[in-house]
Structure 1
Amino acid sequence: MKKLLSNLPKVDEFLISEKLEEYKDSVPYNILIKSIREGIAFYREEILNNRLADTEMEKEDLKMEITNKIIKLIESKNQLNLRRVINATGTIIHTNLGRSKLMESSVENIVNIASNYNNLEYDIPSGKRGSRYSHIEKLICDITGAESALVVNNNAAAVLLVLDTLTKEREVIVSRGELVEIGGSFRIPAIMEYSGSKLIEVGTTNRTHKKDYLEAITPETKALLKVHTSNYKIMGFTKEVKNEELSKMARDKKLISIEDLGSGVLVDFAKYGYKKEPTVQESLKSGIDVVTFSGDKLLGGPQAGIIVGKRQYIEKMKKNNLLRTLRVSKLTIAALEVTLREYLDESQAVKNIPTLRMILEGKDEVEKRAHILYEKLKTLETLEVDLVETSAMIGGGSMPTELMDSFGVAISYIGSSIVKLERVLRNNSLSIVGRIQGGKLVLDCKTLNENDMDSIYEILSKGIDTI
């Protein structure tokens, strides 16, 4: 033990080490020095606790082991907290993994706007102050058929702004079957409470009738709110009031009709063989006064909450002081405008927007990608590899009953547990997130592209003990 302790190199020896030369200019000095000290301290503890008892280990061998440890510490400490991961789960809109992927052209526009001055709140023709919302309002109206539109930072904010502006201290009637909770503890009743609106529940969990709304209307009632249950389905003995009935009821009683669609759908998925989901355009055509939806789910854009509807109501929201706390940044606008422009031609949207493309692509296309990954990985002698059929999901609280036929590669590492394999890949500098199924780690190719497959091969070819 004493010999090993005496063989521990000093900090200065690592600072002049050729093995660490590349890191001296590429990482901050405090990360470099902290990693060196932690590396030495780690091996000192290993020796003191008899976990490194080879008294014959030469100083240079020990130094090499510590150097490898230091390199891992440097690379770990130098990583950004928010970073790229490989999504091999088969869930397309994965809330924990950043939801929808942006188009490359959206990303390019973000870089262009972020790295230069821009006309965020400057009206170029007049040379006067402009509005950040004007850049995309007309585009949203052209696509949806709305009279007016407004964008805030997410759909919860959109619902809050609508209620705070239009129904504060007044009653809002909602079906009990639509009092949803979304991930992250977003609950409709809580949002209504924050807005100052008074929730009036009607009907039952599975059945709500027109008469339930009518009987609940009082002089204090201001709006009828419909919430699309996008993240679950009630099946069997059910009844709900359709949009056309709700909007007519509201008009007859001089009330406002509001719908929270959750996942904003601008394409009729029924045309492509999926179950019918209400589109934003259909909600507006049904007579609903105000509709809210997300920008980063089925729409396939950046995180945003989009409000569309009657101009008289949107204009009131634009004057609400709360809007300033909920406003979107120039980067959101930059990404959203490029994404929305694709919807001017639906054929372009389903081809170019990654979320739509993955949802609507044929099973054969996924199988081709799975074969590419399988052929790469089967050359690694340390792996057991199988090509498997899987079921992918849309995710993000959207279309929960829809499963898509998919393909993936099931892998196990010879001589190591599947739990360790999953953990090691997840904790790699480029994290690979798959799912354990049938005693193997399944990498679903629905959510993988060719670059991902090259990265997976390179990582696994190193062996899990060296990752």
Structure 2
Amino acid sequence: MNNKELLRKLPKIDELLKEEIVLAELNHTLRPIVVEALRESINKFRNDIISEVISDFSNKDILRHFLYLIQKKNSSKFKKVINATGVIIHTNLGRSLLSQKAVESVKVSAENYNNLEYNLETGERGSRYSHIEELVRKVTGAEAAMVVNNNAAAVMLVLNTLCRNKEAIVSRGQLVEIGGSFRIPDVMNFSGAKLVEVGTTNRTHLYDYENNINENTGALLKVHTSNFKIIGFTEEVNLEELVQLGKKYNIPVIEDIGSGVLVDFSKYGLSYEPTVQDSIKKGVDIVTFSGDKMLGGPQAGVIAGKKVYIDKIKKNQLTRALRIDKMTLAALEATFKYYLDEEEAVKNIPTLYMMLSSKEEHKKRAQNLRDKLQKVAKDLEIKISLDYSMVGGGSMPAEKIETYVLKLKSSRISTKDLEEKLRKNFIPIITRIYNDEVYLDLRTILDKDFHIIVEAFNNIFLLEM
């Protein structure tokens, strides 16, 4: 057939709408989406004819492409991926995974009415913070607490309440960038607080703070530099000294602890990271921290500390703009409950489990996955090797956690192409490349996803035959 004949052969949309495949699809897909997919399928074949890519076709060919498009259109752009990178709190991949109880709590809150701002005892309007405040107090030892939508918001809200049109004194070495080009000085500026930098990048002394205190000082601010380390000729003021200085001049001390550590990791063989509980015990007036980093919960900013300051913060008009929703509250409450028993937290919160589970456990899992892959990808060279996972999320940057990885290399597919095919799988598998090998780190791969990885390799190597 020549091109004109092929173009005349193209079916009309109304004709294809009568096909059984299309009628079946209309039972569970919106008609506008179905019609759009049919139109795009016909246009694809029209362009292929004009470009002389094809010499013939049938309606079945068009419908096959239609089904491919429908699957693509029905799948969410916001989708599940498999994290095989070994970065546990991977900011680009959604940070911490929720525990099963947290997921169940989100589901209940999402599909039912609930007492978000309703006091069941009095039958009157209640506060959404009451659902979580008592738990945070029990876990951290703070007098009071509240939550907002992330830690940057928490820092801004605290500074806006306590330091608006006043000065906040902070060490120059703690003026960190917290990701996405958001910087502590910018957050402070937006809050209405005036930044007063003291000391130098590598050394700050107590007298640097004291020499800059005046009648317009609103707070002393300490920012935990969780996303970088300065080593060598360094000195910083410890928390106890800063708290004593604050008491001397009746100035609140605010600590942005960032990652939200509630477990002493040094007990499990990792480096010590300051915990929220330690900061509260040392007398800090306000501590702010993230919900979706080391805490292992949903995105949130937790503010804990002295009741006199928390009460003021709750009354700030910005609180409404920065408040968290019912699903986040449900997930955060379920996560904090685990911290009432540290053993349960370590066992059930995915972030903690990934960080603290033994390398031997992941070696066995690596062997299991290797055996499954070798059955479907005969030409794939697979090695099990000792390697290192990272905490990620701007937390514990110097910490390396021993793990086991699969190192993959094929004689038929380049390493770059293999990584790309895995990344573009229907359920994307995100890996890393090193020394011309694809690495799959078992520490961040879930057992329930083994079959997806095996199926992806099966499809890749079938296509390459």
Would you call these one fold, judging by a TM-score over 0.5? yes
Please tell me whether residue 23 in structure 1 is matched to residue 20 in structure 2.
no
Contact 1:383 1:411 in 2 (8 A): no
Match of 2:407 in 1: 410
SS of the equivalent of 2:389 reads strand
- The equivalent of 1:384 in structure 2 is 380
Q: 2:352 aligns with which of 356, 369, 382?
A: 356
Residue 219 of structure 1 corresponds to 215
The one of 379, 394, 399 equivalent to 1:397 is 394
* Separation in 2, partners of 1:204, 1:68: 66
- Shifted more, 275-284 versus 449-458: the winner is 449-458
Instruction: Give yes or no for the alignment of 1:91 onto 2:87.
Output: yes
Q: Which residue of 2 aligns with 1:274?
A: 270
Aligned-partner residue type, residue 25 of structure 2: Y
Distance (whole Å) between structure 1 residues aligned to residue 289 and residue 8 of structure 2: 65
> In structure 2, the residue corresponding to 1:276 is in which secondary structure?
coil
Q: Which residue of 1 aligns with 2:303?
A: 307
* Structure 1, 30-39 or 138-147: larger mean CA deviation: 30-39
Instruction: State whether residues 421 and 464 of structure 1, in contact with CA within 8 Å, keep that contact through their aligned partners in structure 2.
Output: no
Distance in 2 (alpha carbons) for counterparts of 1:294 and 1:392: 21
* Match in the other structure for 1:338: 334
Deviation sequence 1:11-44 (CA, Å, 0-9, x none): 3443333444542222221221211221221222
| CA positional deviation for 1:465 | 7.7
Counterpart among 455, 460, 463 of residue 463 in structure 1: 460
8 A Cα contact 1:76 1:429, kept in partner: no
Shift of 1:276: 0.8
User: In the alignment, is residue 35 of structure 1 matched against residue 32 of structure 2?
Assistant: no
CA contact (8 A) 1:89 1:434 kept: yes
In structure 2, the partner of 1:419 is 416
- In the alignment, residue 455 of structure 2 is paired with which amino acid? E
Distance 1:42 1:440, change over 3 A: farther
**Aligned residue type for 1:11:** I
List per-residue Cα deviations over 1:344-386 (Å, max 9, x = no partner).
1101110111100110000011111111111111112464131
- Aligned-partner Cα distance in 2 for 1:79–1:268: 41
- How far apart are 1:10 and its partner, in Å? 3.5
Corresponding residue of 2:10: 8
Cα RMSD, aligned residues only: 1.8
Task: Note closer, same or farther for the CA distance 1:373–1:350 as it changes in structure 2 (3 Å cut).
Answer: same
Matches within 5 A, 1:4-403: 4-52=6-54, 55=55, 57=56, 59-60=57-58, 63-381=59-377, 383-389=379-385, 390-403=387-400
Paired with 1:147 and 1:116, the residues of 2 have a C-alpha distance of: 32
1:20–1:409 distance in 2 versus 1, CA, 3 Å: farther
Distance (Å, rounded) in 1 between the aligned partners of 2:75 and 2:410:
27
Distance 1:179 1:393 in 2: 24
Contact 1:377/1:385 (<8 A) preserved: no
Aligned to 2:448: 451
Relative distance call for 1:319 and 1:276 in structure 2 (3 A) is same
TM-score for the superposition, normalised by structure 2: 0.95
User: Which range moves more in the overlay, 407-416 or 254-263?
Assistant: 407-416
| Separation in 1, partners of 2:409, 2:22 | 34
User: Do 2:226 and 2:394's aligned partners in 1 also have CA atoms closer than 8 Å?
Assistant: yes
Higher mean C-alpha deviation, range 38-47 or range 197-206: 38-47
Question: Identity of paired residues, percent?
Answer: 50
**What SS does structure 2 have at the residue aligned with 1:182?**
coil
Return closer, same or farther for 1:105/1:221 CA change in 2, 3 Å cut-off. Answer: same
Quickly say closer, same or farther: Cα 1:411–1:9, change in 2 above 3 A.
Answer: farther
Larger mean Cα displacement after TM superposition, 90-99 or 68-77: 68-77
* Separation of aligned partners in 1, 2:92 and 2:189: 27
TM-score normalized by structure 1?
0.94
Distance 2:23 2:405 in 1: 41
Q: Which amino acid aligns with 2:402?
A: D
Distance apart, 1:278 and its partner CA: 0.1
DSSP-derived class of the 1:45 partner: helix
Contact kept, 8 Å, 1:150 with 1:307, in 2: the verdict is yes
Consecutive unaligned residues of structure 1, counting only runs of 5 or more, are none
Give the whole-Å Cα distance in 1 for the aligned partners of 2:419 and 2:12: 36
* C-alpha distance in 2 between matches for 1:267 and 1:190: 30
* Separation in structure 2 between the aligned mates of residue 323 and residue 198 of structure 1, nearest angstrom: 21
> How many correspondences in the alignment?
461
Letter in structure 2 aligned against 1:217: I
Q: Is the 8 A contact 1:374 1:385 kept in 2?
A: no
Distance 1:151 1:383 in 2: 52
User: What is the alpha-carbon distance in structure 2 between the residues aligned to residue 422 and residue 44 of structure 1?
Assistant: 33
Structure-2 separation of matches of 1:203 and 1:352: 42
Tell me: CA distance 1:385–1:8, structure 2 relative to 1, closer, same or farther (3 Å).
farther
Q: Following the alignment from structure 2 to structure 1, what is the Cα–Cα distance between the partners of residues 301 and 415?
A: 40
**Secondary structure of the structure 2 residue equivalent to 1:379:** helix
